[in-house]
Every structure is written in C-alpha cells, then in structure tokens.
C-alpha cells in the first residue's frame, strides 16, 4: 500500500510547516509502516538551527516518526481527522540520536506496533538515512475524539 501526499493529508491534520511525512511506501494494517520525509534546505527551521551548519532538530525527527505512527493508527482503525479524531503524541522513551539529519537527506521513518489497547498505542520506531540509523525511539500515541 502506498500513500502520496494527498492521501497523507487526509490522515494527518498537520499542515505546513509541520507536515513531516512526504510519502508512505509500505503499510500493513495493525503492524508496520514505512514512510519518508525529503529534507530540504527550504525547511523553515534551518534558518535558525543552525544557519552555518544546518541540522534537523531532533524533536522534529521524533515528530516525523510520531506522524508516521498516527497514519498507521488512523488507517488501522479506519478513522480520519475529518471524523473528529486526532492522535496525540503522549510519550517517548528510549530516544537516541545516532547521526545528524541534514538538507538533502531522505529520512526513512519506520514504526512497528508493539501494542494497542483502548486507544493507546505503543510503537517501536527507527529513522534512518541511507540505511544508517539517525534516531530510534519508543513512541506512545493516544487516539482522542475532539469536538
């Protein structure tokens, strides 16, 4: 299953400059997702982080992973933000950064469901660049109905 940016926008409420998933290349409902973000020098955060040595902030790498998790959760339970649902990032454990992510990198985002119970999901996540580990984290998301 492949999702382009138009379908991703149906499953994530995020918009520029915070939509951090460009494409989904693999998705197995209730199990795994593989997606990516093309990192460009045009990203607004590079103006200040850091102007002479641009590096994608680690918290945004974690956010990109969480967005991939949200897509997997939404697709698995067959719900949409348009239906009044949102996935909140409610926790991250064992976060480790192994290499910087820089302009020109294709950041691959992988998440695997460890467990899901009553709208709380735990995922094992890895972000890589050309097969090299950039970040790993356990991410917890909560599905919520919003008014």
Alpha-helix runs per DSSP H in 78-103: none
- Which one of 14, 49, 52, 53 is the catalytic residue? 49
Region 72-87: mean pLDDT is 96
- Our answer to whether residue 49 is catalytic in this structure is yes
24-43 pLDDT, tens per residue? 999 999 999 999 999 999 99
Q: Is 144 strand, coil or helix?
A: strand
pLDDT above 70: residue 81: yes
Predicted confidence band of residue 133 (pLDDT cuts 50, 70, 90): very high
114-129 pLDDT, tens per residue? 999 999 999 999 999 9
Structure tokens at 101: 């992510």
Predicted confidence band of residue 1 (pLDDT cuts 50, 70, 90): low
């Amino acid at each position: 299953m492949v999702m382009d940016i138009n379908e991703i926008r149906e499953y994530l409420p995020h918009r520029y400059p915070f939509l951090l998933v460009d494409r989904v290349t693999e998705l197995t409902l209730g199990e795994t997702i593989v997606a990516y973000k093309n990192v460009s020098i045009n990203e607004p955060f590079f103006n200040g982080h850091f102007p002479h040595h641009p590096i994608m902030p680690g918290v945004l790498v974690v956010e990109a992973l969480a967005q991939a998790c949200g897509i997997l959760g939404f697709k698995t339970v067959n719900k949409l933000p348009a239906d009044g649902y949102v996935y909140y990032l409610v926790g991250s454990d064992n976060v480790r950064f192994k290499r910087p992510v820089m302009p020109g990198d294709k950041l691959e985002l992988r998440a695997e469901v460890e467990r899901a119970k009553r709208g709380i999901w735990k995922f094992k996540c890895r972000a890589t660049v050309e097969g090299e580990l950039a970040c790993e984290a356990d991410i917890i998301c909560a599905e919520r109905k919003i008014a």
